[in-house]
Each structure stands twice: as C-alpha cells, then as structure tokens.
Amino acid sequence: MPQLSVVVPVFNERGNIVPLLTEIATALRGKVDFEIVYVDDCSRDDSLAVLIGAKAQFPELRVLRHRTQSGQSTAIRTGIKAARGAWIATLDGDGQNDPADIPKLIAARDAGPADVKLYAGWRVNRKDTGSKRWASKVANAIRSRLLRDATPDTGCGIKLIERAAFMELPYFDHMHRYLPALMQRLGWKTVSVPVNHRPRGSGASKYNNLNRALVGISDLRGVAWLIRRSKRTGVEEI
C-alpha cells in the first residue's frame, strides 16, 4: 500500500504528461512509497493515449478517465477517492508546479502537529502573465477578507492533504480553490509553504480572468454560508 498518492488532473495536456511524470518519479523514487493517479477529464487531444503509453515507463502510474468533462475540482476528487495513500499530493497538469517541492511539503508535515491536515503551496514568485497575477492578487485579498482563512495563495495547485480529512469536506464545483477554508471549517489547521512556480510547459491555459471572477463571486458566498452554518461538536464515548 503506498504511503503517498500524487493526484494530477489533466485536460488537453499531452505535451506536459511525460515530462511531469519524469519529474515526479525523480523527486519521489527511493524516498517514499508512492503511486501516481492521473485523471483525464475527457481530453479532446490524445492525452489519454499518451497516459496509457506511459504506463510501461512509470509502473507507479494509474489512469482514470471521466466519461464526460466535469472540471478540475471533480477530477481532483475523483483521483483522491480512488487513491490508496493516506496522504495526497496534488499537482496541476500543466507543469507549472514543481514536483521537487513535494518532499518539502512532506518534511513540513513530518515536523508539524497532528491537527494540520493541509499543507498548501504558496507561489511566492509566480510565472504567470501580469493580468493573471493581478487578478489572483485581488481575488486572494477578497477571499481572505471574507473567509479569514489565513492563506495567501489558495489557487496554487500543489498541496499535501490528508485523504481522510479531505473526504469529510462538502463537494461542489471549484471547491479546490477553497480547501484551506473548508478544512478550517471542520476544525483542522492548515499551513502555507513557499514553493517554486514555473511557466507552463506547453499548451494553453483553460481559464480566463472573467470566468474565474464570475464563478468566484457565487462560490465565495456559498463557502461563507457553509462556514456560518457549521457546528463543531466534540464527542466522547461513555
């Protein structure tokens, strides 16, 4: 049974798959017992064929495929539900997250208290366009003010999460952007860890600033409602 499951959602990322798999294997082989769970969100290119072909080179690789396109949050959840490791490392499939940071997150976990269930990557030096960095900065400021999650960068794709804690979270589309607040809602602690960030390996981004803003308004209101309506109750067996 692997100790760690690396979950990677992909949609039309054929050119980034093998380079990222190679980096994951380099970062983790000989350091931790792990598996890699790729979730193809019904790609329109040949990402699935590339993944199937990569299995011979990467025996740790498992491949899941959505029958209908369902989005990044659903793909992450699909991978975590299927994962066999007690802890999950998530990565974006575009190569911007550096797998070499996964051991850093594991080291932070090993040195941290047991009630920390999420170690969130923090892109201190982002390698995105100026407009995307500006939009993210504004969104993070609004989210932080409304949710008070004490997390400077919730949108970073690289995270280390306890699987059991994740499975207690409410599911909704785009939930991956609110994991610190959702974890804290259940009484768990979260820690942000500075990580590397790189330009996209190949292909094009699937998001634009307007779409994120429109969806984010509704999501923020929903998460704020969940936090207001939640109750945490200690339980003891008599």
Select the more confidently predicted residue: 212 or 37.
Answer: 37
Domain ranges of the chain: 4-229
pLDDT digits (tens, 9 = 90+) for 177-195: 999 999 999 999 999 999 9
The one-letter code for the residue type at 68 is T
Indicate the CATH number for domain 4-229.
3.90.550.10
Partners of residue 37 on adjacent β-strands: 7, 62
pTM of the entire predicted model: 0.88
Which amino acid, residue 136? Answer: S
* pLDDT, mean of residues 28-40: 98
Q: Beta 87-90 vs 159-162: how paired, if at all?
A: antiparallel
| Average pLDDT, integer, range 63-87 | 97
Looking at residue 132, its pLDDT comes to 63
Longest Cα–Cα distance in the chain: 58
Residue 14: pLDDT band (50, 70, 90) is very high
Sequence-ordered alpha helix ranges (H) in 83-129: 102-111
CA angle 153, 159, 164 (to 5 degrees): 125
| Whole-angstrom distance, CA of residue 50 vs CA of residue 18 | 8
pLDDT level of residue 231 (50, 70, 90 thresholds): confident
Contacts 24+ apart (CB under 8 A), 49-54: 50/14, 50/17, 50/18, 51/10, 51/17, 54/17, 54/18, 54/21
Q: Per-residue pLDDT for 3 more than 90?
A: yes
Residue 160 backbone dihedrals phi, psi, to 5 degrees = -120, 120
